[in-house]
């Protein structure tokens, strides 16, 4: 529930790497454990995490971010669970991830973690914004997590 207190850019790759390793117990073999949405915002990268246990976090490459809000605010938890459900419905859009790099300008990367590994799908900001991409609804739900956090906490930077 607390914003990450001190912006330290060295935290970002560690938090993101840990998120890409999320494997939750007691899920069916073909379940989505977590989804990450990465996008380049010009002066850095934002990663939004949603996990099958309702966890939702935001990591900023500047070192700022938000963690733990889903424990106190049902709206954040519900958005995370909606994202997981939709990601499971869209799994055919994802391919095994050979790398887990960050997107370039105008791109959005989505990563899924499952018991079988990490999968990736790529979209453009434009195709998500205009709704023409099959991942547009997933992008919107991930943005709901951002909106829910922003409505409850000040800017962490």
Q: Which of 99, 90, 94, 103 is nearest to 141 (CA)?
A: 90
- Give the domain ranges of the chain: 11-152
How far CA 46 is from CA of 26, 132, 146, in Å, comes to 29, 22, 10
Per-residue pLDDT of the chain (157 residues; tens, 9 = 90+): 455 456 788 899 999 999 999 999 989 888 999 999 999 998 899 999 999 999 999 999 998 889 989 999 999 999 999 999 999 999 999 999 999 999 999 999 999 999 999 999 999 999 999 999 999 999 999 999 999 998 887 664 4
Q: Which residue is it, tokens 């607390």?
A: 2
């Amino acid at each position: 529930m607390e914003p990450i207190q001190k912006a330290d850019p060295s935290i970002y790759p560690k938090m993101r790497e840990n998120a890409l390793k999320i494997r939750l117990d007691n899920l069916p073999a073909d379940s989505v454990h977590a989804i990450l949405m990465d996008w380049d915002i010009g002066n850095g990268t934002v990663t939004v995490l949603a996990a099958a246990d309702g966890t939702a976090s935001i990591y900023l490459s500047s070192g700022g971010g938000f963690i733990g809000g889903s424990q106190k605010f049902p709206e954040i938890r519900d958005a995370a669970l909606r994202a997981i459900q939709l990601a499971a419905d869209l799994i055919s859009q994802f391919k095994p991830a050979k790398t887990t790099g960050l997107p370039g300008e105008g791109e959005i990367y989505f990563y899924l973690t499952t018991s079988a590994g990490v999968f990736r799908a790529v979209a453009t900001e434009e195709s998500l914004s205009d709704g023409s991409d099959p991942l547009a609804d997933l992008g919107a739900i991930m943005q709901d997590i951002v909106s829910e956090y922003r409505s409850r906490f000040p800017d962490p930077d």
